[in-house]
Amino acid sequence: MTKPTHAEREYILTMPPEEYMNHLQQDYFRRLLRHERAALLEHIEQMKHQLQESPPAGDEGDIALREEQLRLLFRQIDRESRLLPKYDAALVRLQKGEYGYCRETGDPIGLPRLLLRPTAELGIEAKTKAEKVEVQYRKK
Protein backbone atom coordinates (compact mmCIF):
# COMPACT_ATOMS: atom_id res chain seq x y z
CA MET A 1 0.00 0.00 0.00
CA THR A 2 1.66 3.18 -1.15
CA LYS A 3 0.73 6.61 0.09
CA PRO A 4 -0.61 8.86 -2.68
CA THR A 5 1.87 11.53 -3.72
CA HIS A 6 1.42 15.26 -3.89
CA ALA A 7 1.89 15.09 -7.67
CA GLU A 8 -0.96 12.57 -7.93
CA ARG A 9 -3.14 14.84 -5.81
CA GLU A 10 -2.44 17.79 -8.07
CA TYR A 11 -3.07 15.67 -11.17
CA ILE A 12 -6.51 14.45 -10.07
CA LEU A 13 -7.46 18.04 -9.24
CA THR A 14 -6.76 19.06 -12.85
CA MET A 15 -9.12 16.45 -14.28
CA PRO A 16 -12.31 17.75 -15.91
CA PRO A 17 -15.60 17.41 -13.96
CA GLU A 18 -16.93 14.78 -16.38
CA GLU A 19 -14.12 12.45 -15.24
CA TYR A 20 -15.24 12.66 -11.60
CA MET A 21 -14.52 9.42 -9.72
CA ASN A 22 -12.81 7.78 -12.67
CA HIS A 23 -10.45 4.85 -12.12
CA LEU A 24 -7.44 7.06 -11.27
CA GLN A 25 -9.38 9.07 -8.70
CA GLN A 26 -10.85 5.92 -7.16
CA ASP A 27 -7.39 4.39 -6.91
CA TYR A 28 -6.01 7.59 -5.33
CA PHE A 29 -8.74 7.67 -2.67
CA ARG A 30 -8.50 3.92 -2.02
CA ARG A 31 -4.78 4.31 -1.26
CA LEU A 32 -5.39 7.48 0.75
CA LEU A 33 -8.09 5.84 2.87
CA ARG A 34 -6.00 2.72 3.47
CA HIS A 35 -2.92 4.79 4.34
CA GLU A 36 -4.82 7.05 6.76
CA ARG A 37 -6.57 4.06 8.34
CA ALA A 38 -3.23 2.27 8.86
CA ALA A 39 -1.69 5.43 10.33
CA LEU A 40 -4.68 5.79 12.68
CA LEU A 41 -4.33 2.17 13.84
CA GLU A 42 -0.62 2.70 14.43
CA HIS A 43 -1.31 5.84 16.48
CA ILE A 44 -3.93 4.02 18.56
CA GLU A 45 -1.41 1.23 19.25
CA GLN A 46 1.21 3.79 20.32
CA MET A 47 -1.27 5.36 22.73
CA LYS A 48 -2.20 1.94 24.14
CA HIS A 49 1.49 1.29 24.70
CA GLN A 50 1.70 4.56 26.65
CA LEU A 51 -1.12 3.29 28.86
CA GLN A 52 0.92 0.22 29.73
CA GLU A 53 4.00 2.16 30.81
CA SER A 54 4.55 1.86 34.52
CA PRO A 55 3.49 4.93 36.46
CA PRO A 56 6.29 6.94 38.00
CA ALA A 57 6.64 6.67 41.75
CA GLY A 58 6.15 9.98 43.45
CA ASP A 59 4.01 12.16 45.56
CA GLU A 60 0.29 12.81 45.20
CA GLY A 61 0.94 15.50 42.60
CA ASP A 62 2.84 13.06 40.38
CA ILE A 63 0.10 10.46 40.75
CA ALA A 64 -2.61 13.01 39.95
CA LEU A 65 -0.70 14.19 36.88
CA ARG A 66 -0.35 10.59 35.63
CA GLU A 67 -4.07 9.97 36.19
CA GLU A 68 -4.93 13.07 34.16
CA GLN A 69 -2.59 11.97 31.38
CA LEU A 70 -4.24 8.54 31.37
CA ARG A 71 -7.71 10.09 31.24
CA LEU A 72 -6.71 12.17 28.23
CA LEU A 73 -5.16 9.13 26.52
CA PHE A 74 -8.36 7.11 27.04
CA ARG A 75 -10.42 9.94 25.53
CA GLN A 76 -8.11 10.21 22.54
CA ILE A 77 -8.08 6.44 21.97
CA ASP A 78 -11.88 6.39 22.15
CA ARG A 79 -12.23 9.31 19.74
CA GLU A 80 -9.77 7.88 17.22
CA SER A 81 -11.23 4.37 17.49
CA ARG A 82 -14.60 5.77 16.45
CA LEU A 83 -13.01 6.92 13.18
CA LEU A 84 -12.08 3.40 12.06
CA PRO A 85 -15.63 2.40 11.00
CA LYS A 86 -15.81 5.60 8.93
CA TYR A 87 -12.74 4.54 6.97
CA ASP A 88 -14.16 1.04 6.55
CA ALA A 89 -17.49 2.43 5.32
CA ALA A 90 -15.72 4.71 2.85
CA LEU A 91 -13.76 1.76 1.46
CA VAL A 92 -17.01 -0.21 1.06
CA ARG A 93 -18.60 2.74 -0.76
CA LEU A 94 -15.55 2.82 -3.05
CA GLN A 95 -15.96 -0.87 -3.78
CA LYS A 96 -19.67 -0.38 -4.56
CA GLY A 97 -19.03 2.65 -6.77
CA GLU A 98 -20.85 4.98 -4.37
CA TYR A 99 -17.81 6.81 -3.01
CA GLY A 100 -17.61 10.53 -3.69
CA TYR A 101 -21.36 11.00 -4.01
CA CYS A 102 -23.63 12.51 -1.38
CA ARG A 103 -25.57 9.86 0.52
CA GLU A 104 -28.65 12.11 0.57
CA THR A 105 -28.69 13.86 -2.79
CA GLY A 106 -26.55 11.63 -4.97
CA ASP A 107 -24.63 14.69 -6.16
CA PRO A 108 -20.82 14.67 -6.32
CA ILE A 109 -19.23 15.63 -3.01
CA GLY A 110 -16.28 17.14 -4.83
CA LEU A 111 -12.57 16.45 -4.83
CA PRO A 112 -11.55 19.38 -2.58
CA ARG A 113 -13.91 18.21 0.18
CA LEU A 114 -12.86 14.58 -0.18
CA LEU A 115 -9.20 15.56 -0.02
CA LEU A 116 -9.86 17.36 3.27
CA ARG A 117 -12.16 14.66 4.66
CA PRO A 118 -11.80 11.41 2.71
CA THR A 119 -14.52 9.75 4.79
CA ALA A 120 -17.15 12.37 3.90
CA GLU A 121 -20.56 10.93 3.08
CA LEU A 122 -22.43 14.17 2.51
CA GLY A 123 -21.95 17.13 0.24
CA ILE A 124 -21.52 20.57 1.78
CA GLU A 125 -25.19 21.53 1.47
CA ALA A 126 -26.48 18.27 2.95
CA LYS A 127 -23.89 18.40 5.76
CA THR A 128 -24.82 22.00 6.60
CA LYS A 129 -28.49 21.05 6.71
CA ALA A 130 -27.76 18.02 8.92
CA GLU A 131 -25.72 20.16 11.33
CA LYS A 132 -28.55 22.70 11.63
CA VAL A 133 -30.99 19.90 12.49
CA GLU A 134 -28.52 18.48 15.00
CA VAL A 135 -28.16 21.86 16.72
CA GLN A 136 -31.94 22.19 16.99
CA TYR A 137 -32.26 18.76 18.62
CA ARG A 138 -29.44 19.55 21.03
CA LYS A 139 -31.22 22.69 22.22
CA LYS A 140 -34.35 20.77 23.22
Task: Express each pLDDT in 61-116 by its tens digit.
Answer: 877 888 888 889 889 999 999 999 999 999 999 999 999 999 999 999 999 999 99
**Phi, psi dihedral angles at 101 (to 5 degrees):** -120, 140
Distance of CA 112 to the CA centre of its chain: 15
- CA–CA distance, 113 with 119 (Å, rounded to integer): 10
**Hey, is 118 helix, strand or coil?**
coil
Give the pLDDT score at 55.
66
3-state secondary structure 85-114: HHHHHHHHHHHHCCCCECCCCCCECCHHHH
CATH 1.20.120.910 fits 6-139, yes or no: yes
User: Looking at residues 20-46, what average pLDDT do you find?
Assistant: 96
pTM score, whole prediction: 0.83
Q: What percent of the chain has pLDDT above 90?
A: 65
Q: What pLDDT, in 10s, does the model give residues 80-93?
A: 999 999 999 999 99
DSSP letter at 19 equals G
- Mean pLDDT, to the nearest integer, of 43-64? 80
Q: Please report, for the chain, the start and end positions of each structural domain, with discontinuous segments joined by +.
A: 6-139
